[in-house]
Amino acid sequence: MPFVGFVACTILVFYVVPKRMQNVVLLAASYSFCLTFGWPCLLLLVSSTLFNFLLPMFYSSGRRNPRNLWIVWLGVTVNLAGLIWLRWATLSSGVVESGSSLLTIAGIGLSFYTLSAIAYLVDVYRGQVPKVTNLLHFALFMAWFPKLLSGPIERVQILLPQLTASRIVKDQDVSQHLLLIFQGVFRKVVIANWLFALLPSNAWTQPEQFHSVELIVFPFLFAVAVYNDFLGYMSIMRGVSGLFGIKLSRNFHLPLSSRSFTEFWTRWHITFSEWLRDYVFFPLTRSLLKRKLPPQSLAVIGLPLLFTMLGSGLWHGFGWNFVVWGAVIGCVQIGERIHTVRRTQASNQVGSRLIYIAAVLAVIPAAVCFNTSLSNTFDYCLALVEFSMMSYSRNRFAVFLLWLFPPLLANIVLDRMDESSSTRFVSTAFPAKLRSLAISAGVFLILIISQADSHPAFVYEEF
């Protein structure tokens, strides 16, 4: 609710001040938002902004100038060092469990805006984007509050033109963005929270308390819950940003309907996947290919994928569980890639099915690793393969499935709405202003009924 008030006040001031002052208002609002998490958070954001703004000023002219390579490496190292130091310090002081400390506070949003900053430094070095010479625009690019906490990880070439252009928000756009907020709130407050509530708190730590069928269902239940939690957050923030005439990138594209792990990662947390692809996977693959390694060798196929997914794991958190999480996902993708490269007509059908089954099964250890330590993950998998039916109660499981049905159905309906023109049909049946009013009322109704302030935070805020 305080966030709703904050957005409303910012919109009011934004539309009252002259156009040339609008970006100043947005930056002030973004810094105020950051400040609500404490001075360390703002200090780190401002330091990172100044460092990444000033560094490209030292680049010499000419694309891919060797001198610039040293500067870009310095920039990447400093940015990554900050991220690694915070992750390491957070882990070693054990504040992950307690949930708040100076380090946790300072690090809010760091993993997201640091990746945007690295992309900027590298792209300027490659000559893909010009240096940003206006500090206000660059500061707003880094700090824009709807993307500050959990992304999307925007590129300067996508966001900056919107920050510098004159923005016009029509009534029609307002109702579309409000609808996005409504869908986001519904996904978070109704679907995600419902699914998380169905997941027993000791599911990952005491697997022996549950029968094997439940142990198979929990990881998939968690995956759908996180999907709705994160997509809900993204929809809300894309909607809020749109109210100011700034469109944020889409971060999800029906990932649950993917036919492979490889496809899944092009549809899930898209801006992060694309960042990994552009700054880790492709450079590594190109480097190996230039060393004249056979393109179909295990080294060329496997190493970049494994390294990329291990990097993805460590980005989520320092811990062996995240290393294993990355390795599991990396190995499945390597299997899929080898199958694609080396398939023959005869082995095609069987191989495809086996790879698909392996990918689906890999969700289980991956989801458990994501939530708990390695030893707990091992116990979980052990309990699962023992196929214990000791605590099995048909009635209990039937009730569980019954409770599972409504949020899953709602998830499917919302996914279809995202893709079909039904959203447009619903939203054009009434005048734009009336639609906006009705949707806003819907958002408030959900927030009030569900006592939104008492809900758990978004999962990806932790990263």
Which of 277, 381, 400, 418 is in the footprint of another protein by CB under 8 A? 277
Task: Please tell me whether residue 80 binds another protein under the rule CB under 8 A.
Answer: no
35 vs 24, 137, 285, CA distance in Å? Answer: 16, 19, 41
Question: Which residues from 334-363 bind another protein, rule CB under 8 A?
Answer: 337, 340
Which of 141, 268, 279, 460 lies at the binding interface for another protein (CB under 8 A)?
279
Q: Which amino acid is at 29?
A: A
Residue with tokens 């990952």: 204
Residues near 433 by Cβ (< 8 Å), separated by ≥ 6?
171, 175
Window contacting another protein (CB under 8 A); options: 107-115, 126-134, 218-226, 411-419: 126-134
How many Cα atoms are found within 13 Å in the side-chain-facing hemisphere of 322? 14
**Residue 117 to residues 53, 89, 141, 391, 428: CA-CA distances in angstroms?**
9, 22, 9, 51, 39
Alpha-carbon Rg for the chain, nearest whole angstrom, is 23
Of 42-50, 73-81, 284-292, 376-384, the segment contacting another protein by CB under 8 A is 284-292
Q: Shortest gap between Cβ of 121 and another protein (angstroms)?
A: 14
267 binds another protein (CB under 8 A): no
Of 296 and 420, the one with the shorter C-beta distance to another protein is 296
Q: Does 128 bind another protein (CB under 8 A)?
A: yes
Site string for another protein, 151-190 (x = CB under 8 A): ----x-----------------------------------
Judged by CB under 8 A, which stretch of 165-173, 199-207, 287-295, 383-391 contacts another protein? Answer: 287-295
Choices 177-185, 282-290, 324-332, 398-406 (CB under 8 A): range interacting with another protein: 282-290
Calpha distance 106→45 (Å, rounded): 9
Cα gap 296→318, rounded to integer Å = 32
Check residue 126 for interaction with another protein (CB under 8 A).
yes
Q: Is 290 in the site for another protein (CB under 8 A)?
A: yes
The residue among 173 and 278 lying less far from another protein, judged by its C-beta, is 278
- From 1, 11, 429, 383, select the one nearest 179 (Cα to Cα): 429
Q: Does 127 bind another protein (CB under 8 A)?
A: yes
Q: Is the CB of residue 216 less than 8 Å from the CB of residue 255?
A: no
- C-beta of 127 vs 456, nearer to another protein: 127
Select 182 or 281, whichever has its Cβ closest to another protein: 281
Judged by beta carbon, residue 274 or residue 379, the one nearer another protein is 274
What track of x and - describes contact with another protein for positions 56 through 75 (by CB under 8 A)? -------xx-----------
Tell me: does residue 289 bind another protein (CB under 8 A): yes
User: Measured between alpha carbons, how far apart are the two ends of the chain, in Å?
Assistant: 23
Q: Which tokens sit at 406?
A: 């409504």
Least spacing, CB of residue 249 vs another protein, in Å: 13
Cα of 337 vs its chain's centroid, Å: 24
Q: Which stretch binds another protein (CB under 8 A): 21-29, 51-59, 281-289, 418-426?
A: 281-289
Place of tokens 């980005």: 315
Question: Rounded to the nearest whole angstrom, what is the least distance from the CB of residue 282 to another protein in the complex?
Answer: 4
Tell me whether residue 120 or residue 218 sits nearer to another protein (CB atom).
Answer: 120
Stretch that binds another protein, among 164-172, 216-224, 277-285, 396-404 (CB under 8 A): 277-285
Closest by CA position to 70, among listed 116, 114, 125, 20: 125
The string of DSSP letters for 388-429 reads --TT--HHHHHHHHHHHHHHHHHHHHHHHHHHSTHHHHHHHS
Q: b/e for 45-58, b at 16 or more Cβ within 10 A?
A: beebbeebbebbee
Residue 163: CB partners within 8 Å, gap ≥ 6? 23, 137, 140, 141, 144, 246
Are 64 and 127 contacting, i.e. CB atoms less than 8 angstroms apart? yes
Which of 283, 294, 406, 431 is in the footprint of another protein by CB under 8 A? 283
For another protein, the binding residue among 266, 388, 423, 440 (CB under 8 A) is 266
Q: Are 141 and 121 in contact (CB under 8 A)?
A: no
Q: Quote the CA–CA distance of 122 and 156 in Å, as a whole number.
A: 11
Residues 402-431 that bind another protein (CB under 8 A): none
Comparing CB distances to another protein, the nearer of 120 and 458 is 120
How far apart (Å, rounded) are the C-alpha atoms in residues 461 and 463?
A: 5
Q: Contact at 8 Å (CB) between 267 and 254?
A: yes
Among residues 10, 79, 251, 285, which is the contact residue for another protein, using CB under 8 A?
285
Select 241 or 273, whichever has its Cβ closest to another protein. 273
Binding site for another protein (CB under 8 A): 63-64, 123, 126-128, 155, 262, 266, 274, 277-279, 282-283, 285-286, 289-290, 295, 301, 337, 340
